[in-house]
Amino acid sequence: MSHQITIQPSGHRFFAQPGETVLQAALREGFPLPYGCRNGACGTCKGKIIQGTVDFGSYNENALTETEKQAGMALFCRAVPLSELVIECREIGAIKDIKIKTLPCRVQKLERVAPDVMIISLKLPTNERLQFLAGQYIDILMKNGKRRSFSLANAPHDDELLQLHVRNYPGGAFAEHVFMQMKERDILRFEGPLGTFFLREDSDKPIIFVASGTGFAPVKSILEDVFHGPNPRGHERQIVLYWGNRTRADLYAPELAGSWQQEHDNFTFIPVLSEPLPSDNWNGRTGLVHQAVLEDFDDLSGYQVYACGTPPMVEAAHRDFTRLRGLPEEEFFSDAFITSATSASPPKA
């Protein structure tokens, strides 16, 4: 049977069909809740069950601890209602009117920009455009029925080609296909746009972006959107980008980020390498990328942080920024890139 769900504090009500998760039902009924991976791994969709019971489903214990569970928290991408529910969570109005589409596209260009990073440029059919918010992602629909999620790296205004940054890794079926077999003019299908990782423009707080590896992709989309136009949005907000990689070769677009720093007085770019090689002759910052932020900021209570990349980095950033530097929980936004090597569900890569 279906179950009514009430969202607090808005008071919005909707019904979940049998077997539907809270998130699935909310999106179907036009009430966008925060979400990222949709497979119980990133924790973006975490909210509180005020009344009622749910089947918590399968999830990563790092995304929902037993203590949080006992306190009434649940991952709405996994939680299936077993009764009427009253839940507490934020609603994301900005994506309410953006239609999720399933579209074909053609591989227009393949560019290997690092030993294990490929930039794919996709062309949509003539007269077709994808409306999306900078920072959102799409799901590539594979022929075996599986999905692979990739953030859009181009800004919404620069939509002639959709750009994906794909990292190769052992056991990644789609990633290995990209590096070994994919050719220009290949046809793909995708669903999107998806996700709630985008810039909150109703704030004037300074912004810190923390990216690891190809977590740079959605940050690139957001920043190019911010910097676009004669009167760019966010031009008065101070913005710092920390981008972490292992070696200098992994830092695949330093010139681009460096050019933003030259062109915009309110933007600072800080690359961080965790394992620089002697041949890198690296004189910049070293260590873990989120640690670099901790070294530079004693107090984050007046900031917004957007973290994107590997789950360990996102988890560490959330933990340390909120506990050690006073960052408000509601000012931390994240997109954890889950790979198929660590999850049987649709990954981010």
Task: Report the CATH number that the domain containing residue 187 is assigned in CATH.
Answer: 2.40.30.10
Domain-ending residue, one of 194, 221, 249: 194
Query: What percent of the chain stands above pLDDT 90?
Result: 78
321 shares its domain with 280: yes
> Cα–Cα–Cα angle for 114, 109, 119, nearest 5°?
30
**Alpha carbon distance, N-terminus to C-terminus of the chain:** 36
Q: What is the pLDDT of residue 349?
A: 54
Judge whether residue 346 has pLDDT over 50: no
DSSP-assigned letter for residue 17: P
How would you classify the pairing of strands 187-194 and 137-141? antiparallel
Helix count (H) and strand count (E) of the chain? 7, 19
Per-residue pLDDT reduced to its tens digit, 124-182: 999 888 999 999 999 999 988 999 999 999 999 999 999 999 999 888 889 999 999 99
Helix (H) or strand (E) holding 237: none
Instruction: Identify whether 343 is part of a domain.
Output: no
pLDDT at 340 over 60: no
Q: Is the pLDDT of residue 347 over 80?
A: no
| 78/125 same-domain check | no
**pLDDT tens-digit map of 13-67:** 999 999 999 999 988 888 888 888 788 888 889 999 999 999 999 998 888 999 9
Look at residue 54 and give its three-state secondary structure.
strand
Q: Of the residues 60, 91, 122, which one is the last residue of a structural domain?
A: 91
Cα atoms in the Cβ-side hemisphere of radius 13 Å centred on 233: 11
Q: For 96-121, what is the mean pLDDT?
A: 94
Asked, for residue 321, whether it belongs to a domain, the answer is yes
DSSP type of residue 287: S
Q: Which CATH number fits the domain that encloses residue 211? A: 3.40.50.80
The set of residues, in sequence order, having a beta carbon less than 8 Å from that of 216 and lying 6+ positions away, is 153, 165, 243, 252, 253, 308
Residue 199 lies in a domain: no
For 318, half-sphere exposure in the C-beta direction (CA atoms, 13 angstrom radius) is 21
CA-closest candidate to residue 247, choices 226, 271, 223, 221: 271
Same domain, 237 and 215: yes
Which domain does 111 fall in, by range? Answer: 99-194
Token code pair at residue 123: 């062309």
**Positive or negative, the Cα torsion across 243, 199, 255, 114?**
positive
Task: Please tell me the predicted confidence (pLDDT) of residue 344.
Answer: 41
Q: Are residues 86 and 105 in the same domain?
A: no
User: What is the rounded average pLDDT of the residues 235-239?
Assistant: 85
Query: Are 253 and 139 in a shared domain?
Result: no
Mark whether 179 and 267 lie in a shared domain.
Answer: no
Do 223 and 132 sit in the same domain of this protein?
Answer: no
Q: Mean pLDDT lowest for which of 42-46, 112-116, 214-218, 269-273?
A: 42-46
8 A C-beta contact, residue 112 and residue 100: no
Domain boundary among 47, 63, 91: 91
Residue 81 shares a structural domain with residue 140: no
Is the confidence at residue 259, as pLDDT, over 70?
A: yes
Instruction: Verify that 330 and 215 share a domain, yes or no.
Output: yes
- The CATH number that applies at residue 33 is 3.10.20.30
Residue 346 resides in a domain: no
Query: Which of residues 120 and 44 earns the better pLDDT score?
Result: 120
| Same domain (yes/no): 233, 283 | yes
Domain for residue 78, yes or no? yes
CA nearest neighbour of 190 among 65, 97, 318, 101? 101
Residue 202 lies in a domain: no
Task: Determine the pLDDT at residue 348.
Answer: 59
Residue 282 lies in a domain: yes
Query: Which tens digits make up the pLDDT trace of 182-235?
Result: 999 999 999 999 999 999 988 999 999 999 999 999 999 999 999 986 555 546
Q: Model-level pTM greater than 0.75?
A: yes
pLDDT score for 62: 83
Number of domains in the chain: 3
| Mean pLDDT over the full length of the chain | 91
Indicate if 225 and 321 belong to the same structural domain. Answer: yes
What integer pLDDT is reported at residue 104 of this predicted model?
Answer: 97
In this structure, are residues 150 and 163 in contact, taking their beta carbons and an 8 Å threshold? Answer: no
73 within domain boundaries: yes
* Local structure of residue 314 (DSSP, 8 states): H
Whether residues 139 and 35 fall in one domain: no
pLDDT band at 263 (very low <50, low <70, confident <90, very high): very high
Which residues in 127-248 belong to E strands, given as ranges?
Answer: 137-141, 147-151, 161-167, 187-194, 207-212, 239-245
